[in-house]
Chains A and B, each alone.
Chain A
Amino acid sequence: MSGDDLLPPRVLVVEDDPDHRRALALTLHLGGYTTSECGSGEDALEQLGTNIAKPMDIDAVVLDIRLPGIDGVEVLTQMRAQMATRHVPVVLISAHTSKPNAVQRDEYARFVPKPFHPDQLLGQLSELLPDPPRNDR
């Protein structure tokens, strides 16, 4: 996405708790992003799969680690195994405080432990994106 493009970056929010998913979406909207939302790893991979055809559709992922079915770490692993998504920035969030190994070695991934202030999430996200939104909404 180029800075000249007026479309704000799109973030996929993957979180099974609907209330927290809404709070995350709200945070991102107020931070100048547009969002897609889903509640499971399987759904996330499906949405990201469409990314192969339209690679620029999703610019970043906010990914909860504890998910029903395929968990967040597995989603990240599968994303990195595909050319189209191997450099898509990911912010992993979890109520477990320890940073997963998958994040340590991945320069396009960050970890933010729950609970967090919205600015923490927005800060990490803007560092990962080459061209973050210049202004809050």
Chain B
Amino acid sequence: MATKEATVSDTERRGAALPPRAENPTDDALAALADAPAGAGAVVHRDGDILAVNPAFADLFGLDDPATATGMRVLDFVAPEARARVAAYITTPTDEPVFHDCLRLDGIPLIVRGEGRSVVFAGEPARLTLLTPVIDEFRTADRLHESSEFFRLAFDHAPIGKALVSPEGRILHLNPALCELMGFEAAQMLGQSYNALSHPDDIDAGTPYALGLLQGSGDSYQIEKRYLHANGHVIWVAISVSLVRMLDGSPRYFIAQVEDITARRDAETALRLETERFRLMQTVAEAANTAEDPDEAYTTVLAAVCAHTGWPLAHVYRRIAGEDLLEPSGLWHFEDGDEEEFLDFVVATADNMLVSGVGLPGLAFAARRPTWLIAGTLSTVRAEAARHAGLRGATALPVFAHGEVVAVLEFFSHDADRPDDALLELLGHVGTQIGRVAERAQAREQAAALDEARARFVAHAAHELRTPLATLRTVAGLLGSRRAQMTEAELAECCDLLERQGANLDALVDDLLDLSRLQQAERPEALRAVAVDEWVTRALEVALPPAGVSVHRVLDAGLCVLGDPDRLNRALVNLLANAYRHGGPSVTVRAERDGLDAIVVVVEDDGDGVPEDLLADLFEPFTRSDRSRGSGLGLAITRALVEQAGGSVTYRGSSDQGARFVMRFEEFG
């Protein structure tokens, strides 16, 4: 250490102005320093301490006085990431020129080319290193001044970002366009690692190529990667990097050209997304068009949506027809095929019926649109199971057929990211599209039911026609073959039977035609005001009560319904006839207001009411009690008449209180 201290004081003494040529002929270091052809030079002890520098060195590194360098370490002037290499170089010197990333004291980076040789300083071996600034070339007024200036202008005013980057990856110089692109001031970026501009996920995207250039393979590369703007948003850039070499081929610096392609990448991303969504809708549309039954379509859609979104799990809730109730189906989709993972959740779903508004499917059902929530937040049985299965997000979409929700498809994700609005809207379309399969299934069922009803009607009608025909044919047969044996009384009875059954047949055919006409007829366009008391009076003139039956009128005054008078009249006559036939001795016609704008007209009797087993199909054709002698068409016709006249008819009777038929109409006025 004593030696070193002496050396320092010696340098201090001579630092400001270089001393005259060597006092000691073997001590050539200072002379060499003074003669340094390229300007800057430093004498460095082999332990890395600076022994002396010349004024050009001080100038290059921003020192006010060359003497201040003495006692500092070489590595103080070296960029951090280059220190290991430079340290190795100090330990094992080479006579080959080397390049260093250096830092001025004011933090401005520069690249220097160093050439060293062994010297003697204060009687001890040392290294003299002559430094040529590489980057600074174009800032100096040397013989390349004009072309350098041209280069600098082209660089600084380029519309795309440009940077000079040291072989170690430090920003040596950059232009305003790059500053603007990144949102940083030049001073904030200078000297920083070039990789610091990168998005964390893309930091090393260019490293292999840069290393390749340094190792001599090619002169440039182009990549696209993400940068992170000062305010945190992602910038997509296309980077073109060239390596500028020294005359001897060794790396000098990289020139990076940086173009903002965020808009293009966004457009590409949007296009890709659009294409994927289009494909999804194609799959959905195909399923909607070709699937035989809704389950087949749901299965396709579960898989397609999971493939599109990456959601791992999906399931179908079916609506119980006509009720605000959803029941879990056995239709599940496991995107990764891993059923075991979700077993508990599937089990928790199995018997989990949901009413409208409860649970995710219930919420989507009530809202009638795709609904998202964080899985496991609801206080339902399944929420706990969802949490255990690691499901954090859940999206449900209602399936519509003829405007009614027929099912709810539910999807689960491991993340809690809300699907964007475009995806939710898309899922809404999925629900409408796929509902067409359910619509077709419903239409098929309805057509089949209609066919069955027609067949049943025809079979019923045939049976009803056979009843009078049986008597007609038997009697006609007797008259044909055994007339001679008949007594007068028997002949008279035969005529009687023929007459009565002919009339029965006639009435039955009339009823059938009536019903058929009413079922096919359009509802009359113009309904009229019909005064209820006049209507009841008219009907009672036609339907006179038989002996032993009395009719009571209990009519609120001034009631007027909107309807078709002729049909109304026939309907009331039918109900009265029905009451006379099946009721007791007392029949009541009642009319009163029902709510704000409706009127009910009621026909009650004090009989036994309609037998329980007939109630379900009471207004269907050929529904009649065992003891009824009618065709079974009367109430079917009555219902058709009332509906055509703009109202509805229901049965509200009981076995205790007798039959009670209620016609309900819109009030007029």
Contacts and interface: CB of A to CB of B under 8 A. Distances in A.
Given A20-B474, A95-B463, A26 B627 contact: no
A: contact size bracket:
20 to 34
A115 B505 CA distance: 14
A68 interface: yes
B466 A118 contact: no
B466 A24 contact: no
Nearest to B466: A95
B467 to A, nearest CB: 6
Interface stretch (B164-172, B490-498, B637-645): B490-498
Given A19-B501, A26-B493, A118 B467 contact: no
A19 B500 contact: yes
A118 B497 CA distance: 15
Contacts of A17: 467, 470-471
Interface stretch (B255-263, B476-484, B554-562): B476-484
A116 to B, nearest CB: 7
A55 to B, nearest CB: 30
A23 B475 contact: yes
B477 A95 contact: no
B627 A68 contact: yes
A16 B482 CA distance: 25
A30 B474 contact: no
B471 A20 contact: yes
Contacts of A95: 462-463, 466-467, 470
Interface in A80-98: 93, 95-96
A26 B497 CA distance: 11
Contacts of A93: 470
Contact of A115 (B466, B481, B490, B626): B466
Interface string B437-473: 0000000000000000000000000110011111111
Interface of chain B, main secondary structure: helix
A43 B478 CA distance: 27
Interface residues of B, number: 26
B451 to A, nearest CB: 21
B470 A22 contact: no
B347 interface: no
Contact of B477 (A19, A22, A114, A117): A117
B627 A23 contact: no
B471 to A, nearest CB: 5
A70 B104 CA distance: 117
A127 to B, nearest CB: 18
B485 interface: yes
Given A20-B470, A95-B470, A118 B485 contact: no
9 contacts: A19-B497, A19-B500, A20-B467, A23-B471, A23-B474, A23-B497, A69-B626, A114-B469, A114-B470
Given A17-B470, A116-B470, 10 more contacts: A22-B497, A23-B478, A26-B493, A27-B477, A30-B478, A30-B485, A93-B470, A96-B463, A118-B474, A118-B482
Interface of A: 16-17, 19-20, 22-24, 26-27, 29-30, 67-69, 93, 95-96, 114-119, 121, 136-137
